[in-house]
A and B are shown apart, each in its own frame.
Chain A
Amino acid sequence: MSVVFSDAARAEFDRLLTRYPEREAVILPALHLAQKEFGFVSDEAIVYVAELLGVSPAKINGVATFYTMYNRKPVGKYHVQICRNIACSLLGAEHLIEHVAEKLGVKPGGTTPDGKFTLSQVECLGSCGTAPVMQVNDDYHENLTAASIAAILEKLP
């Protein structure tokens, strides 16, 4: 059950190759591309990227498992990532995390049964001035309160 890049993704991959003096520099961008194309970085995605670059799957897996943003297992439609680092914690992040966990009915790290939300606690997102902060898929949401989080999650289709 192998996977293959769409024409558009393959074109982007080929374009990326031209930007670096060494082929393997595209490994991180290629994994982002694979995650977008295939939903998550599966074993098949890893083998595919490895073959494109002529390196061992172990090497690609070593890279994929080092960085937190590559999901080696599928996540829900919306990955709700709430920061639990120092500035956010000082402004009540742990309460918010508990609140969201209760509301969604999942423990941090878990996914709702309908597959819509995965809740994660993450480290500093680099927006401490607007703490508490969360990232849902690609988007930052800042200055959070229990109410504003509820509103954000409710609006998601």
Chain B
Amino acid sequence: MPAREPVLTETMPTLTINGMTVDVPQGTSILNAAKEVGVEIPHYCYHPKLSIAGNCRMCLVEVEKLPKLQTACSTEVTDGMVVRTDTDKVRKAVTGVLELMLIHHPIDCPICDQAGECGLQNYYMKFGLHKSRYALEDKVHKKKVQDIGGQIVLDAERCILCSRCVRFLTEVTGTRELDFFSRGDHSEIAIFPGRPLDNNYTGNLADICPVGALTSKDFRFKCRVWFLKAFDSICTGCSKGCNVDAHHKGDILYRLKPRWNDAVNQAWMCDFGRLTYKAMNEARLLTPFVRVDGERKVAAWGSLLPDVAFRLKAAADKGGTDRVAVIASPQSSNEELYLLRRLATSLLGTKNLAFTHRVAGDGFADDFLIQADKNPNSRGAQLLGIPGGAAFDAMVSKIAAGGIDALLVFGNGIGVHSEEETAALLAKVPFVVQVGTNEGAVSKAATAVLPSASVAERGGTFTNHAGRVQRFRAGFPARGKAKNPIEILVSMGNRLGAGWTFAGEASVFAAIAGTEAPFAGMSYDSIGVSGQAIRS
């Protein structure tokens, strides 16, 4: 049956559950009503974003006046309903279902990625703790370790046949590459031979699978989940700004999982976005350096920052402000872009300010989450008065024509230019300073490279394509000698006489909210964990 959205009406039915009462909107299931008063009803097949299946039978509860136990996920609360989940009858039922679910389950825990976040493990510890009454040699065996395409490995033997994956592929992606084959206890989830998963959202299958039947290829055997910590972040793969939980051990990221936000990405994210964490681990710029006679020479922040600021100003003074240019990045936060704009326009006095775009032969978009703009903060740049598009192209022409003496570049690349094209372009500029996170075309040609903290190592906000301002947080301190770009900008600004006293991203955002109309009245508080729309 389709998931029913509760409806707010004047009458809110009252449920009494384990002695506690709660009023809920018409259409609320017992399962969700119970959550309101802290009663956890075990379940596998129910998922708030998918239709109701009611087939795992774990959520059985006792409803007064009804002779049979009812599934809490599929039973709507009616006024005056009395439910108990703490009776012997319910406990025996839940244990009974769990036992039956486990009789064919392989003893894979030692090698199964799901260990530590496994529905069967969790409920077994809570409701099972029974000895197996089923002979090991009688277990039904099914196909293990199947690469079924996308980002997923299927182990059919571990599957509890909850049908979440089939429902997801039917209701969310509409591609239905997985289905149940055969019947009875030989039922098995599989793809049709030769027809692997073929959509951009396969990674979500590993999230919704309660057990280790569908797991992530990328994450396979990499880390035990109890070693991982999580922090709130925003995916930087495109301008959708899917909310994510970033998982890390120390200063290495292991995976991204969607964080629920009904206003942006519901409970999902795309496969491309899932892998964006890799760039935060690999090929990072971690040491400031300068290029002398074509060779890299390590430099110290203490001397390099003032030097860079001085040389930018000097170029403006000598040849005129029009000979200085600033390329902003749509990967920068609202806070960083704001400071950069003030640095460029007020302190350096140049009009040559534009943000680069990265469409990189991609530009693919769909009617679900994927946006054509593969940057998280183009909208933020625009709203903060930094132009892109034609203005950027004009600036690149100016650089190519030899009209720029000093260039400050944020980001790892310039537009869609290749390494050779970038090298040729930057060769026209005597002094190029980069603030970037990863090795690439720019770091191979720049005069001075200032390593930046990644999105995982700093805090700030992005404005997504729809104008939603969302916070991302630092999960751990910047690696190596990389620095928070806000620090870099404040330091440079103050070298140029800005007199800035900003002490972190929150204070910069407060300034934005004070002077930039679209952000008027906002604060980190009002943005909260799920973001806030700009004033239209």
Chain A in direct contact with chain B (Cβ < 8 angstroms)? yes
Instruction: Establish whether residues A43 and B176, one from each chain, have CB atoms under 8 Å apart when the complex forms.
Output: no
Contact of A58 among B182, B183, B195 (CB under 8 A): B195
| B residues 172-224 touching A (CB-CB < 8 Å) | 175-183, 190-195
Which A residues touch B191, using CB under 8 A?
58
Instruction: Establish whether residues A56 and B181, one from each chain, have CB atoms under 8 Å apart when the complex forms.
Output: no
Instruction: Establish whether residues B181 and A62, one from each chain, have CB atoms under 8 Å apart when the complex forms.
Output: yes
| A residues 42-82 touching B (CB-CB < 8 Å) | 43, 46-47, 55-59, 61-62, 65-66
How many chain B residues have a CB neighbour from A under 8 Å?
15
B159 to chain A, nearest CB (A): 14
A16 to chain B, nearest CB (A): 22
Instruction: Establish whether residues B192 and A66, one from each chain, have CB atoms under 8 Å apart when the complex forms.
Output: no
Q: Beta-carbon contacts of B412-431 to A below 8 Å, as 1s and 0s?
A: 00000000000000000000
Dominant secondary structure at the A interface? helix
Query: A56, A59, A66 — which one has the most chain B CB atoms within 10 A of its CB?
Result: A56
Chain A residue with the shortest CB-CB distance to B195: A57
In angstroms, Cα B195 to Cα A47, docked, is 10
Instruction: Establish whether residues B195 and A66, one from each chain, have CB atoms under 8 Å apart when the complex forms.
Output: no
In angstroms, Cα B192 to Cα A46, docked, is 10
In angstroms, Cα B191 to Cα A47, docked, is 13
Instruction: Establish whether residues A56 and B176, one from each chain, have CB atoms under 8 Å apart when the complex forms.
Output: yes
Instruction: Establish whether residues B181 and A61, one from each chain, have CB atoms under 8 Å apart when the complex forms.
Output: yes
Which A residues touch B176, using CB under 8 A?
55-56, 58-59
A27 to chain B, nearest CB (A): 13
In angstroms, Cα B178 to Cα A47, docked, is 14
In angstroms, Cα B183 to Cα A15, docked, is 30
How many chain A residues have a CB neighbour from B under 8 Å?
12
Instruction: Establish whether residues B177 and A56, one from each chain, have CB atoms under 8 Å apart when the complex forms.
Output: yes
Instruction: Establish whether residues A61 and B182, one from each chain, have CB atoms under 8 Å apart when the complex forms.
Output: no
Instruction: Establish whether residues B182 and A66, one from each chain, have CB atoms under 8 Å apart when the complex forms.
Output: yes
- A55-B176, A56-B176, A59-B176 given; A65·B192 CB < 8 A: no
In angstroms, Cα B194 to Cα A47, docked, is 11
Give the A-B contact count at a CB cut-off of 8 A: 37
Contact of B182 among A47, A56, A65 (CB under 8 A): A65
Instruction: Establish whether residues A65 and B193, one from each chain, have CB atoms under 8 Å apart when the complex forms.
Output: no
In angstroms, Cα B198 to Cα A57, docked, is 13
In angstroms, Cα B195 to Cα A57, docked, is 8
| B residues 136-191 touching A (CB-CB < 8 Å) | 175-183, 190-191
Chain B residue with the shortest CB-CB distance to A67: B183
Instruction: Establish whether residues A56 and B192, one from each chain, have CB atoms under 8 Å apart when the complex forms.
Output: yes
- A57-B192, A57-B195, A58-B192 given; A66·B183 CB < 8 A: yes
In angstroms, Cα B181 to Cα A43, docked, is 13
In angstroms, Cα B413 to Cα A68, docked, is 60
Which B residues touch A65, using CB under 8 A?
181-183
Which B residues touch A66, using CB under 8 A?
180-183
Q: Beta-carbon contacts of A20-56 to B below 8 Å, as 1s and 0s?
A: 0000000000000000000000010011000000011
Which B residues touch A56, using CB under 8 A?
175-177, 179, 192, 195
Which B residues touch A58, using CB under 8 A?
176-179, 190-192, 195
Which A residues touch B182, using CB under 8 A?
65-66
Which A residues touch B190, using CB under 8 A?
58
A79 to chain B, nearest CB (A): 19
Chain B residue with the shortest CB-CB distance to A50: B192
Chain B residue with the shortest CB-CB distance to A61: B192
Query: B175, B182, B192 — which one has the most chain A CB atoms within 10 A of its CB?
Result: B192
Q: Beta-carbon contacts of A86-109 to B below 8 Å, as 1s and 0s?
A: 000000000000000000000000
In angstroms, Cα B181 to Cα A57, docked, is 12
In angstroms, Cα B182 to Cα A62, docked, is 7
In angstroms, Cα B179 to Cα A62, docked, is 6
In angstroms, Cα B316 to Cα A23, docked, is 71
In angstroms, Cα B179 to Cα A59, docked, is 6
Chain A residue with the shortest CB-CB distance to B177: A58
Which A residues touch B181, using CB under 8 A?
61-62, 65-66
Which A residues touch B192, using CB under 8 A?
43, 46-47, 56-58, 61
Which A residues touch B193, using CB under 8 A?
43
Chain A residue with the shortest CB-CB distance to B188: A65
Which A residues touch B195, using CB under 8 A?
56-58
In angstroms, Cα B190 to Cα A56, docked, is 13
Query: B176, B178, B179, B190 — which one has the most chain A CB atoms within 10 A of its CB?
Result: B179
Which A residues touch B180, using CB under 8 A?
62, 66
A46 to chain B, nearest CB (A): 7
In angstroms, Cα B442 to Cα A157, docked, is 81
In angstroms, Cα B356 to Cα A50, docked, is 46
In angstroms, Cα B191 to Cα A85, docked, is 33
User: Apart from A43-B193, A59-B176, A66-B181, what 16 extra A-B contacts exist at CB < 8 Å?
Assistant: A43-B192, A47-B192, A56-B176, A56-B177, A56-B192, A56-B195, A58-B176, A58-B177, A58-B179, A58-B195, A61-B181, A61-B192, A62-B179, A65-B181, A65-B183, A66-B180
State the 9 A-B residue pairs at the shortest beta-carbon distance, nearest first.
A62-B179, A57-B192, A56-B176, A58-B179, A58-B192, A65-B181, A65-B182, A61-B192, A66-B183
Sample (20) of A-B pairs whose CB atoms are under 8 Å apart: A43-B194, A47-B192, A55-B176, A56-B176, A56-B179, A57-B192, A58-B190, A58-B191, A58-B195, A59-B176, A61-B179, A61-B192, A62-B179, A62-B180, A62-B181, A65-B181, A65-B182, A65-B183, A66-B180, A66-B183
Residue positions of B touching A, CB distance < 8 A: 175-183, 190-195
